[in-house]
Amino acid sequence: MRTRGWSHWLYLAPALLVLGSYLVYPTLVTLYLSFFDARSAQYIGLQNYARIFTQEETLIALRNNLLWIIVVPALTVSLGLLMAVVFDRVRHEALAKSAIFLPMAISFVGAGVIWKFVYAYTPPIYPQIGILNAIRTALGFDPIGWLIRSPWVNNLALMAVFIWIWAGYCMIILSAAYKGIHRDLLDAARTDGANEWEIFWHVALPMLRPTILVVATTMTVFTLKVFDIIYVLTNGNFGTEVLADRMYKEMFHFHNFGAASAIAVIILLAMLPVIVINVRRFYAKEGR
């Protein structure tokens, strides 16, 4: 049906107004400011972007973002899947799931503070207050600066916090999907002589594929936006900075509106493909 006139605009107006003023307008202004200098006074073309791809700090941030996207969604989703399947077979399933899901209820800054204690370092002559270094010293090793050692120890230590928070979320969603698989199907495979391992790989996993894809893209988007954990634990020092933290520093510490806006645009562009995949899947599901 095709409507003529303007009445449909009336229905669209509230949504357009909100989207326009809170999404489209700020995005366009950010894009505009990214072509200007620190004080937004002078047009400098693509210099802010050139800086992102030549300056050591932002190159490290880009590298770390890439590292996060490779490691974190893969680990959160596979750990979530593992727990969803394993907990399906244990007696106190609800209890086990609640324990894993609980970190979701903690704010990222709170989680950062908790893990700062986990990674705490005190000189070897004093008792260790951080559990990891306490274990190390109990085993006869020297304590190490978990958040200092670059690039692997500290970056993986930060990713562990993110995984600790989000694996539970992946588990809950994947668990629901797993329970949605008809038991008859699994039983049929069993009758046909498949072992549990084969059932998982050849029956359950293919059926979970759409859910895994949605969870994985969601995790990728969240990973790209990671900020709080790094801000609290290392403030991006010792080679742990990601783009979002760099953007915050440029904006609120150095008051460089141009550089901060350019980084914001880069993050947005990096996010686009993931969003497109998500929207496409959504349409495919809707059957359009």
Partner 1 sequence: MGFESGGGSGWPGTDWIEDIMLRTAGPEVYDQWVAHDIPWTDARLKYAFELFGQIARNPTYVLGGPEGALSINFRDSPNGLFTEPPGCLLHHQASFIQTFIQKANPNLVPVVDFNVFLFPPIDPARENPLSGGGSIIGLFKDTEMNRKFMEYLASREGQQIWVNEGGQEPPTNQNVNLSALDPLSSRVTELLRSAAAFRFDASDLMPAAVGSGAFWTAMLNYVGGADVCTVLLKLEEAAEQAYTSGAATNGVIEPGGC
Binding site for partner 1 (CB under 8 A): 56, 120-126, 144-145, 147-149, 231-232, 234-235, 237-238, 249, 253-256
SS3 at position 144 = coil
CA dihedral sign of residues 48, 50, 52, 54? negative
Q: Shortest approach of partner 1 to residue 249 CB, angstroms?
A: 7
CA dihedral sign of residues 65, 70, 71, 74? positive
Nearest in space to 166 (alpha carbons), one of 54, 77, 279: 77
CB 69 within 8 A of CB 223: yes
Q: Shortest approach of partner 1 to residue 67 CB, angstroms?
A: 20
- Which two structure tokens, joined as six digits, stand for 86? 């394993």
Name the β-bridge partners of 43.
36
SS3 at position 1 = coil
Amino acid identity, position 258: G
Quick one: how far is CA 21 from the chain centroid? 26
Closer CB to partner 1, 113 or 181, in the complex: 113
Sequence-distant (6+) residues with CB within 8 A of 69 are 220, 223, 224
Closer CB to partner 1, 120 or 265, in the complex: 120
Q: Shortest approach of partner 1 to residue 56 CB, angstroms?
A: 7
Nearest in space to 143 (alpha carbons), one of 162, 166, 127, 165: 127
Closer CB to partner 1, 179 or 255, in the complex: 255
Q: Shortest approach of partner 1 to residue 93 CB, angstroms?
A: 40
Closer CB to partner 1, 144 or 205, in the complex: 144
Closer CB to partner 1, 235 or 278, in the complex: 235
Closer CB to partner 1, 7 or 54, in the complex: 54
Q: Shortest approach of partner 1 to residue 30 CB, angstroms?
A: 20
Q: Shortest approach of partner 1 to residue 51 CB, angstroms?
A: 8
